């Protein structure tokens, strides 16, 4: 269908190009939030540089009445506020669509395109006339373009004004200037460009049960609700905002009512090695402890992760993935850490992983991760990415069951210990591969020596091969046993599909949208979203029951596909890949094209 | 190497402490270190100090890194939880453990390889955070377990067993600790139990990070002529700047008479460290003077020992972080989880 003939109400993309460090991020967030408050499904993706001030940055807002909120490259309105990227921004706009620019200075002749609508507003001039001081003029220009976009798209001005009121109710002068700025842009656009755009927004009621949150906020809140008391970390994009959020929540929610003292301890470590060491020390002591990090930090944690696995110490690690290897593209999203987290450290290891698909799951999986870590006495990784972690998502509202009791696993009390003839730390009494543990300070009978060196099932040092093997084999059984305790994978079945799309994490939205688009073309596809590792039997059954499973993920090497190859019985020929690892959140267009290519290849081979 | 239990023979006449425990109850398994190793003397001093302080062994967390020194926590306090962690990473384990439960006594045992090379960063940052622990740095100037390489504490000109001479300047943990703001800095010698035991006791009682750097000769790789960390060299060049005695709160009056012109420093819990300056006018509460004196002795080829510096009322990690008085591990879940009402209220703003 020709995109121009579709009804484009509540179905469009606005892209805003600015310079980082100019305050545009909060202005852009306001626009997205206003759309959310109008009850329309919306997403906002921040594409930002690894820099504090002066480099190009973009914000992409997608509005879609059907709820398809993956990134889309089809820009309907480009808000071009950065002259340095005019050329590429204008080139990105499709014929018939519009560019909003600051006409305080003339646009160079060669940038104009005949097939694009150019909407010039003298934003800087207006701000110079209305505001004092360089900083205020820069900030208010952002608010002025928000007003202009609101007019162009028919965003309810009252909604915006209400948001300003909430934000600045304590600072009258800021509220006044913001209101003036909004009006400047709004009135100018109304007067000059009313009705020119093909796209517009119309209030809906799709967001009644939704909230706006980032995955890092949600994960941090999950840590609070799970009862985590010790957080240790080293600053790293894109995981930093997780600990920032935890600190913020704790400041409000974790003060002892009588003394005003902290019911938590957050330590900014000297590096990631120390951060994970602190988490393990706290976990060994019996606290629920966690660290947020990203790929580079994980690499540093590797030695300790092996110790945690082998000495069986609970820990929760949030891996908010970014583009690697090395420093890579630290402010861009990717899913390149699957190998690292699955088998972190030297020697034989295998770790329990959870893969949230959105911020809502970040909350629930965070809580789950602490239970799993204590149940299985091992590090548990919550593996998200920059897109989930740092972007505001419209999410299902979080619920909490006040009857929730944390699963502390097999922790022996002083009474338990007193009743025992003898306590042996690594003895599998129950046959499930999980020994009981004692905590320091509880009872003399619970004392044992925690070590990363060879030990036997009684916790004694050993270099005897058989005794060593006995313990590592038992740990392998224990970890395998975790597979069915993880959140079940998300499965959606079409009628009689023989091909499955398999994906993970933030790719979910793009893959589901692609399945709908391909269904319109008569292609039936089943859907499997992996949510945990080791893979459950449901994952293997899905893979075996399809002729072909196309694994959609954001890394170069098809890491999830390779893990499936290693860890399930699925034959290699039943697996194919669609990959996108350019650092942007995945779009359905990439998936559709990739699936078409794969199926074309398969058809040729079969013929 | 295997673990050897000590025979559990008990002499009926053994002295008991206030908890009714004998010194044997503070021991661990048989040492597997070389005969004559300085570390074993330190272990014996640790056993004596804990016994005399009447600390219940299971209320102690003993931690170490990797290396000969780090093996020793198995040789004392068998009723305490032990953690033999990674090379150079014991301070982070201790920091996290202490954050979770500040009510246990913490003793970390490390060596010069563990603390001054691979673990230099963690060692420094644990001091910076003033983690409440006794940190025993068993310093022999050499890598024992890997058979005799120089460590970062080896002095210039010191000779390895096979003859090569160290050219790199040493890292001196005591003077470094002073510049990093450490709140308790002591140095001793494994062969001087009379000096070492009160220092261990004072370090355990000090609220904050207590460093005891102990010259502990390696009989196998670094006890020859040409080594500055040998028994002979340390005996000859050790220079006690202050004589220290530790007076637990309850015994203050009994031991007071033993001392002449001594100065008392009252610790956090009210117990007293009493020291008498051997060097005239030495004041172990004056950081800058302590540093200057240390350097002066160093220039003369002498090793300053004793309680070099103490800041008894320093703020430890928990005070800096303003944590509740009860250990975080003992806070009931109901106090930690804000519940459904708060969640709904929070989310009403996320729109």
Residues 460-479 (A) with a CB less than 8 A from some CB of B: 460-463
Q: What is the pLDDT of residue A603?
A: 43
Residues 548-587 (A) with a CB less than 8 A from some CB of B: none
Residues 302-341 (B) with a CB less than 8 A from some CB of A: 317-318, 321-325, 328-329, 331, 333, 335-340
Q: What is the pLDDT of residue A475?
A: 98
Q: What is the pLDDT of residue B8?
A: 65
Strongest mean pLDDT among A275-284, B227-236, B269-278: A275-284
Could you give the CA distance from residue B273 to residue B289 in angstroms, rounded to a whole number?
Answer: 19
Please state the rounded mean pLDDT for residues A399-415: 98
Q: Does residue B129 have a pLDDT over 80? A: yes
Please state the rounded mean pLDDT for residues A54-71: 95
Residues 89-148 (B) with a CB less than 8 A from some CB of A: 89, 91-101, 103-104, 121-122, 124-125, 129
The pLDDT confidence band at residue B163, using thresholds 50, 70 and 90, is confident
Report CA dihedral (A228, B94, B85, B46) to the nearest 10 degrees: -140
Q: Does residue B253 have a pLDDT over 50? A: no
Chain B contact present for A414, CB below 8 A: no
Q: Does residue B10 have a pLDDT over 70? A: no
DSSP letter at B116 equals I
Question: Residue B324: which of A212, A262, A400 has the nearest Cβ?
Answer: A262
Please state the rounded mean pLDDT for residues B200-206: 96
Q: What is the pLDDT of residue B200?
A: 97
Residue B32 φ/ψ, nearest 5 degrees: -110, 15
Q: Does residue B257 have a pLDDT over 80? A: no
Bridging pattern class, strands B263-266 and B238-240? unpaired
- Please check whether residue A530 is in contact with residue A508, taking contact to mean a CB–CB distance below 8 angstroms: no
**How far is residue B91 CA from its own chain's centroid?**
12
Cβ neighbours for B292, distance < 8 A, ≥ 6 positions apart: none
Please state the rounded mean pLDDT for residues A419-423: 96
Could you give the CA distance from residue B72 to residue B31 in angstroms, rounded to a whole number?
Answer: 7
Q: Does residue B61 have a pLDDT over 50? A: yes
Q: What is the pLDDT of residue A1?
A: 41
Interface probe for A, chosen from B19, B97, B103, B126 (most Cβ of A below 10 Å), is B97
Please state the rounded mean pLDDT for residues B52-63: 97
Residues 211-240 (B) with a CB less than 8 A from some CB of A: none
pLDDT tens-place string over residues A77-104: 999 999 999 999 999 999 999 999 999 9
Chain B contact present for A326, CB below 8 A: no
The pLDDT confidence band at residue B301, using thresholds 50, 70 and 90, is confident
DSSP letter at A396 equals E
Whether B100 sits inside 8 A of A274 (CB atoms) is no
Chain A contact present for B8, CB below 8 A: no
Average pLDDT, whole number, for chain A? 95
pLDDT tens-place string over residues A137-160: 999 999 999 999 999 999 999 999
* Nearest partner of A507 among A481, A528, A482, judged by Cα: A528
Q: Chain A closest CA to B213's CA: distance in Å?
A: 22
Q: What is the pLDDT of residue B5?
A: 66
Could you give the CA distance from residue A300 to residue A280 in angstroms, rounded to a whole number?
Answer: 15
Q: Write out the residue limits of the CATH 3.40.50.920 domain(s) in chain A.
A: 490-606
DSSP letter at A459 equals S
Interface probe for A, chosen from B93, B95, B98, B114 (most Cβ of A below 10 Å), is B93
* Nearest partner of A314 among A407, A441, A210, A401, judged by Cα: A407
The pLDDT confidence band at residue B248, using thresholds 50, 70 and 90, is low
Residues 143-172 (A) with a CB less than 8 A from some CB of B: none
Q: Which one is the CATH code of A490-606: 3.40.50.920, 1.20.58.760, 3.20.20.70, 3.40.50.300?
A: 3.40.50.920
Q: What is the pLDDT of residue A310?
A: 98
The angle at the Cα of A246, spanning A296 to A507, to the nearest 5 degrees, equals: 55
Q: Does residue B260 have a pLDDT over 50? A: no
Q: Does residue B62 have a pLDDT over 50? A: yes
Question: Residue A440: which of B81, B86, B328 has the nearest Cβ?
Answer: B81
Q: What's the Cα-to-Cα distance from A93 to each of A88, A99, A100, A285, A548, rounded to whole Å?
A: 9, 8, 11, 57, 36
Whether A447 sits inside 8 A of B333 (CB atoms) is no
Please state the rounded mean pLDDT for residues A540-557: 98
CA atoms within 13 A on the CB side of A580: 23
Interface probe for A, chosen from B28, B31, B73, B96 (most Cβ of A below 10 Å), is B96
Q: What is the pLDDT of residue A4?
A: 52
- CATH topology for the A3-193 domain: Pyruvate-ferredoxin Oxidoreductase; domain 3 (3.40.920)
Report CA dihedral (B169, B173, B177, B183) to the nearest 10 degrees: -160
* Nearest partner of B191 among B208, B211, B171, B216, judged by Cα: B216
Cβ neighbours for A557, distance < 8 A, ≥ 6 positions apart: A339
Whether A277 sits inside 8 A of B85 (CB atoms) is yes
Q: Does residue A218 have a pLDDT over 50? A: yes
Q: What is the pLDDT of residue B161?
A: 81
Please state the rounded mean pLDDT for residues A421-444: 97
Q: Write out the residue limits of the CATH 3.40.920.10 domain(s) in chain A.
A: 3-193
HEC profile of A468-528: HHHHHHHHHHHHHHHHHHCCCCEEECCCCCCEEEEEEHHHHHHHHHHHHHHHHCCCCEEEE
Q: Is the dihedral of CA A482, A484, A490, A495 positive or negative?
A: positive
Q: What is the pLDDT of residue A206?
A: 97
Better pLDDT: B82 or A606: B82
Residue of B nearest to A274 (CA): B92
Residue of B nearest to A396 (CA): B347
Q: Does residue B237 have a pLDDT over 80? A: yes
Q: What is the pLDDT of residue B255?
A: 32
Please report, for chain B, how many H helices and E strands are present, in that order. 13, 13
User: What ipTM describes this predicted complex?
Assistant: 0.95
DSSP letter at B114 equals I
What the block records as the tokens of A531 is 């949510």
Q: Does residue A430 have a pLDDT over 90? A: yes
N- to C-terminal Cα separation, chain B: 63
Strand partners, B159: B165
Please check whether the domain covering A213-396 is classified as CATH 3.40.50.970. yes
- Please check whether residue B61 is in contact with residue A191, taking contact to mean a CB–CB distance below 8 angstroms: no
Chain B contact present for A110, CB below 8 A: no
What the block records as the tokens of A179 is 């209101």
Q: Does residue A408 have a pLDDT over 80? A: yes
Residue-wise DSSP of B230-295: SHHHHHHHEEESEEEEEE-GGGHHHHHTT-SS-EEEE-TTS-EEEEEESSTT--TT-HHHHHHHHH
The pLDDT confidence band at residue B302, using thresholds 50, 70 and 90, is confident
Q: What is the pLDDT of residue B273?
A: 72
CA atoms within 13 A on the CB side of B99: 36
Q: Does residue B249 have a pLDDT over 70? A: no
pLDDT tens-place string over residues A455-496: 999 999 999 999 999 999 999 999 999 999 999 999 999 989
Chain B contact present for A112, CB below 8 A: no
Q: What is the pLDDT of residue B80?
A: 98
Report CA dihedral (A451, A456, A461, A465) to the nearest 10 degrees: -110
Q: Does residue B274 have a pLDDT over 90? A: no
Better pLDDT: B267 or B223: B223
Which domains, ranges and CATH numbers included, belong to chain B? 23-347 (3.40.50.970)
* Nearest partner of A265 among A249, A247, A248, judged by Cα: A247
Q: Write out the residue limits of the CATH 3.40.50.970 domain(s) in chain A.
A: 213-396
């Amino acid at each position: 269908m020709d995109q121009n003939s579709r009804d484009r109400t509540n179905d469009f993309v606005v892209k805003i190009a600015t310079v980082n460090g100019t305050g545009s991020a909060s202005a852009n967030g306001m626009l997205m939030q206003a759309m959310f408050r109008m009850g329309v499904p919306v997403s906002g993706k921040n594409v930002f540089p690894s820099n504090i001030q002066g480099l190009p940055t973009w914000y992409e807002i997608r509005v879609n009445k059907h709820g398809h909120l993956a990134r889309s490259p089809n820009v309907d309105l480009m808000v071009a506020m950065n002259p340095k990227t005019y050329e590429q921004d204008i080139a990105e706009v499709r014929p018939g669509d519009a560019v909003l620019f600051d006409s305080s200075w003339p646009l160079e002749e060669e940038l104009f395109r005949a097939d694009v609508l150019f909407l010039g507003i003298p934003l800087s001039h207006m701000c110079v006339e209305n505001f004092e001081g360089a900083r205020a003029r820069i900030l208010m220009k952002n608010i002025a373009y928000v007003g202009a976009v609101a007019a162009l798209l028919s965003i309810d001005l009252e909604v915006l004004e209400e948001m300003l009121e909430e934000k600045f109710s304590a600072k009258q002068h800021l509220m006044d200037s913001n209101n003036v700025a909004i009006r400047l842009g709004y009135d100018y656009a109304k007067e000059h460009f009313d009705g020119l755009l093909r796209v517009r927004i119309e209030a809906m009621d799709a967001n009644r049960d939704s909230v706006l949150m980032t995955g890092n906020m949600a994960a941090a809140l999950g840590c609070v609700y799970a009862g985590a008391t010790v957080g240790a970390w080293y600053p790293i994009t894109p995981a930093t905002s997780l600990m920032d959020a935890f600190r913020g929540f704790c400041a409000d929610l974790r003060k002892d009512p009588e003394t005003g003292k902290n019911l938590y301890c957050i330590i900014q470590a000297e590096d990631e090695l120390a951060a994970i060491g602190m988490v393990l020390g706290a976990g060994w002591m019996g606290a629920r402890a966690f660290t947020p990090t990203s790929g580079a930090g994980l690499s540093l944690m590797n030695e300790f992760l092996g110790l945690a696995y082998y000495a069986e110490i609970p820990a929760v690690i949030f891996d908010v993935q970014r583009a690697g290897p090395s420093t890579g593209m630290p402010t861009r999203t990717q899913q390149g850490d699957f190998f690292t987290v699955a088998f972190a450290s030297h020697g034989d290891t295998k770790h329990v992983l959870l893969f949230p698909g959105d911020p809502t799951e970040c909350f629930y999986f965070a809580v789950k991760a602490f239970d799993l870590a204590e149940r299985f006495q091992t590090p548990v990784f919550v593996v998200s990415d920059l897109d989930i972690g740092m972007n505001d998502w419209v999410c299902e509202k979080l619920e909490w069951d006040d009857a929730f009791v944390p699963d502390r696993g097999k922790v022996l009390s002083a009474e338990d210990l007193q009743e025992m003839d003898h306590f042996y730390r690594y003895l599998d009494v129950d046959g499930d591969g999980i020994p009981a543990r004692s905590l320091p300070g509880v009872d003399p009978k619970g004392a044992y020596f925690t070590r990363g060196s060879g030990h036997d099932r009684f916790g004694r040092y050993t270099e005897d091969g058989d005794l060593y093997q006995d313990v590592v084999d038992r740990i392998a059984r224990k970890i395998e046993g975790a597979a069915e305790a993880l959140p079940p994978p998300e499965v959606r079945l079409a009628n009689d599909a023989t091909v499955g799309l398999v994906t993970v994490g933030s790719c979910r939205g793009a893959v589901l949208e692609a399945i709908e688009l391909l269904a319109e073309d008569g292609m039936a596809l089943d859907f499997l979203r992996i949510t945990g590792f080791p893979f459950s039997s449901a994952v293997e059954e899905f893979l075996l029951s399809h002729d072909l499973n196309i694994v959609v993920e954001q890394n170069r090497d098809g890491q999830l596909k390779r893990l499936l190859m290693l860890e399930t019985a699925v034959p290699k020929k039943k697996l194919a890949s669609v990959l996108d690892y350019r650092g942007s959140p995945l779009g359905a267009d990439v998936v559709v094209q990739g699936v078409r290519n794969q199926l074309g290849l398969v058809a040729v081979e079969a013929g | 190497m295997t673990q050897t239990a000590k025979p559990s023979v008990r002499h009926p006449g053994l002295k008991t402490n206030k908890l009714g425990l004998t010194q044997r109850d503070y021991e661990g398994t048989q040492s597997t270190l070389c005969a004559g190793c300085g570390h074993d003397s330190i272990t014996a001093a640790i056993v004596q100090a804990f016994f005399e302080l009447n600390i219940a062994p299971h209320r102690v967390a003993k931690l170490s890194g990797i290396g000969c020194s780090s093996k020793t926590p198995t040789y004392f306090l068998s009723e305490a939880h032990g953690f033999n962690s990674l090379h150079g990473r014991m301070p982070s384990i201790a920091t996290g453990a202490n954050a979770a439960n500040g009510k246990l006594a913490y003793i970390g045992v490390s060596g010069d390889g563990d603390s001054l090379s691979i673990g230099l960063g963690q060692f420094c940052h644990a001091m910076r955070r003033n983690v409440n622990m006794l940190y025993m740095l068993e310093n022999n100037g050499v890598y024992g377990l890997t058979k005799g390489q120089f460590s970062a504490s080896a002095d210039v000109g010191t000779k390895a067993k096979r003859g090569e001479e160290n050219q790199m300047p040493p890292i001196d943990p005591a003077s470094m600790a002073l510049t990093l703001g450490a709140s308790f800095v002591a140095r001793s010698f494994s062969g001087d139990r009379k000096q070492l035991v009160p220092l261990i006791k004072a370090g355990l009682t000090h609220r904050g990070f207590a460093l005891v750097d102990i010259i502990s000769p390696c009989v196998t790789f670094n006890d020859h002529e040409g080594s500055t960390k040998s028994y002979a060299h340390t005996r000859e060049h050790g220079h006690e700047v202050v004589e220290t005695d530790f007076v637990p709160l309850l015994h203050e009056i009994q031991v007071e008479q033993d001392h002449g012109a001594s100065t008392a420093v009252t610790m956090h819990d009210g117990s007293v460290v009493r020291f008498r300056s051997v060097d005239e006018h030495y004041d172990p509460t004056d950081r800058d003077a302590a540093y200057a004196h240390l350097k002066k002795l160093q220039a003369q080829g002498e090793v300053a020992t004793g309680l070099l510096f103490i800041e008894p009322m320093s703020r430890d990690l928990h005070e800096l972080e303003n944590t509740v008085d009860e250990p975080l591990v003992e806070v009931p879940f109901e106090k930690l989880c804000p519940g459904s009402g708060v969640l709904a209220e929070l989310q009403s703003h996320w729109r």
